[in-house]
Structures are given as structure tokens and as C-alpha cells.
Structure 1
Amino acid sequence: MTAEEPALTPQDSLEAFAALAAHQLGEAIALMRGAAAVLELQHGGAGAGAGEQDALRALNAGGERAQRYVDDLLDVARAATEPDGPAPSADLDLAFDAAAAELESFLSRVPVHVQREPLPRAALESREAQRLFLHLLRSALAAGATRLGLTGRTAGDGVVVELFDNGTPPEADSDPPAQAAAGPFEPFARPRGRGALVGAGVSLSVCRRLVERRGGSIAMQVRADGATIVTVHLPAAAP
């Protein structure tokens, strides 16, 4: 390292490792899922025994979960990059629909009621907004939520988006609410629940990075009735 080169921080090293691990694991998972597809064609028909069918289902489920971990690691690396170019403008309604479409296979199997209000535009790229909603939804669904509420409004020069869910609340402790709410947003934090969508424990961390890189903020609180609320403050899109 020369005198002109900045020293790498532990966070830089973590992000570099996440990117490398995601690439290597992605190749291994692609080979595994390809082999599973071949086996399913050869042995997954009506003539397959119960044991063979169970093994194929377990192999496919393991591949899906491993792929979620890889996607999480990639999002950690992507969210660490600094934004460039002119201020973006994202349609948050379209971004939420795209995120929900990514989770369609899960939502089709689990009864989840979603109540939405129209959302304003915000100073995010469309892909950023989609990843933001994807990770917010995954965090709630991994906590076992069956009811979700989404509201949005403009507030001065900003936008406020709130996601309500009835999943398992974050673990309560004796710290003040502001300190307790910071924990779930740390990288690889313990997930709120152990549902089918639990990944690498980075969903809320990615959300925080996506929001803060655009000058916004994110917080979590638990209401007296047990509902968890994630509040996101974002700059409003330029006219």
C-alpha cells in the first residue's frame, strides 16, 4: 500500500468478501440446481418413489435457500457503492409491484393480506426502490407476518413510507427504544423470525444502506399491540 492509497476498513473487507463469496457460491449453486433439474427429469415423474420425490423436493428447497443467501451477499456489495449521476426518480408503486412479483412463488403458498395506499415518487433509482421493498417484505415474511400495511406520503421536501406487519417483533430488551431499534439494521443481525424466507440476516442492513446513500433514514419500532413498523424517510423526487 502506497502513501496515497487509503487503508481498507473492516467494512470494506467485509463487502469485498461478500462479493467474492457470492460469485463463487453462485457458480456452485448453478451446478447443483442443474443437476437437480436433470434428476427431476429422470426420476421425478409419476413412477418415482416417495423417497425419491422427497429427496428432490429437499434438494430444490436447499437450492432456493442457498440462492437467497447469494442474492443477499450481492445486495450487500451493491448497496455499498456510492451513487452517481443526476438525482433519480422512482415510482414506488411500480417498485413495490416488482418486488412482490419476485416473491410470487412464496406468496402463492402462504396466505398474506396486503393493504396498500398509493405511494409518491422518491429520489431513488427504480432498481434501488425495488430492492428496498424486496428486503422490507422479506424481513416481514421471515418473521411470519400474515398481514402487511403500506402507507406513503410527502412531507415537505421528503417522502415518508411506513410498512406495518404482524410478524414476530424484534426481541425486546431494557435499552431505550432508539437504541434497541438500531440492532436489526446491523449486517448479519439475528433475523426477527425463522420463517421460510430467512436469508443471511442482511435484509434490513441493505435497506439502511440503500436509504442512507440517498440521504434518507430508516427506523423500526414496535407498537403496544405488537405490530412492527418500519419507517423510511427519503428525499422526494425532483419535479
Structure 2
Amino acid sequence: MNPEEPALAAQDGLEAFAALAAHQLGEAIALMRGAASVLDSQGGSLGPGGQDALRALSAGGDRAQRYVDDLLDVVRASAEPIEHAATDLDPALDVALADLETYLHRAPVHVQREPLPRAAIEAGDARRVFGHLVRTALAAGATRLGITGRVEGDEVVVELFDNGTPAREGTQPFEPFGRPRGRGPLVGAGVSLPVCRRLVERLGGRIGMEVRSDGATIITVELPASR
């Protein structure tokens, strides 16, 4: 027996469980949101306490949905076929920022960006990578976020800078369900960086994190340049 086969089988079993759990949780969240919609239709008859309970129910449903989305991304990052497409990274970043606009304004987070090149990554994967990286900054309580990109030979190098809470010494930020960097306005299941690593490495790229002397965190993503 190949010594790697038990580990691969365990990984496949874990991802199958994650897919099943995400499906079951999704159904429970749908029921929760249906109940919230019924209560919301009653308007002022709920009273102040009822309105507070309704807001808590809605916030809990939103947070549970983020956990489900994280679980599904763990499965997708391993199971979907690799597509070496040529993608403009700017539109992918646009979509990721638009999806998180509510949280970016809530902090608020000042976003500074430069034009990004094309890279050999499927557009959907590029949106996922950017979405998870921005979520990581939000979870760390960042108020400033910078995104730059350049071409170096056969590689595209994208760097994201944020001033959020740095990762604690001794933690493994790219391991699944690791300890989050902070407690910002958007906290998920702790799989954002592991999902990014899977997506990037499946394309032959690399991802890393560095904390500068001033406390800023830099996440560097290296992808194959589009041919």
C-alpha cells in the first residue's frame, strides 16, 4: 500500500463530511431565515424586545451562512478541476470588494489599489482568492488595505498589505481552522488562508505571509503569468 493512501483517504472522508455538513447546515439556515421573514412581516407588533431578537436571529443566520460558505470552499478548492485560464485580476478584485462592501464600510476600511496584471488562473478562483484575503484583513480588524501587482518573468506577484492584528507567533495561518488573527467585523471558520493556499498551489503558485517591523501584514501571492 502506498504510505500516502491512508492520509489521502482520510482527507477525502473529511471533505465528504464537510460537503454533507454544509448541505445540512444550509437547510437549517434556510428554515431560520424563513422564520425571521415571518417575524419581520409582523412589523411593530413584536415590540422592542422582539425586534432585538429578530436582529440577533438575522445576524446569527448571516454568520452561520459564512461558515457554510467556508466549508464549501474547502471542498471546492480540492475537488474542482484545474483550469489554466488567462484572467484579468482587476475585475476579479472588483467583485470581491463589492461582495464585502458592507463590512468594508462598517469598519471603515480605506482601500488603496494599483492596476493588476493578467494571470493564469480561472476567474472564479481569482475572485475566491481575493475574497478570502480581504476577509482575512477584515477579521484582523484592519482599517487600511493595499493591493499591488506586478509581473516578474513568468510569474505574477500580488501583494496585499493591511494594518490588522498580526498572526500570533507560533500559529500556522495557512493550516485549516487555525487561530484567527483578530476579532474584526467579519469572522469565519478560519479557513480563508488555507483555501487560498490550495487554490494557488494547485496552479503551481505560492503564497506566504510576512509581518513587517511596523506591524503591517503582507500576504504575497505568486501565480503563473498568462501566456
TM band (smaller chain): over 0.9
Q: How many residues align?
A: 223
The answer to whether the 8 A contact 2:82-2:202 is kept is no
Which consecutive unaligned segments of at least 5 residues does structure 2 have? none
Q: Deviations over 1:118-169 (max 9, x none)?
A: 0001111110000000000001100000000100000000100000000000
Q: Does 1:98 align with 2:101?
A: no
Q: Give the secondary structure class of the aligned counterpart of 2:76.
A: helix
Structure 1 segment 1-239 matched on structure 2, within 5 A:
8-42=8-42, 44-45=43-44, 48-81=46-79, 83-84=81-82, 87-173=84-170, 183-238=172-227
Q: Give the secondary structure class of the aligned counterpart of 2:133.
A: helix
CA distance in 2, matches of 1:230, 1:186: 15
Aligned letter for 2:181?
Answer: R
Which consecutive unaligned segments of at least 5 residues does structure 1 have? 1-5, 174-179
* Displaced runs of 4 or more, over 4 A: none
Alpha-carbon offset, residue 48 of structure 1: 4.0
Alpha-carbon offset, residue 197 of structure 1: 1.1
Distance 1:191 1:32, change over 3 A: same
Please tell me the root mean square deviation across aligned C-alpha atoms, in Å: 1.6
Which one has a larger percent helix, Structure 1 or Structure 2? 2
CA distance in 1, matches of 2:152, 2:186: 33
Alpha-carbon offset, residue 89 of structure 1: 1.2
Aligned letter for 2:64?
Answer: A
CA distance in 2, matches of 1:204, 1:76: 10
Q: Tell me the TM-score normalized by structure 2.
A: 0.94
CA distance in 1, matches of 2:125, 2:67: 19
Identity score, percent: 72
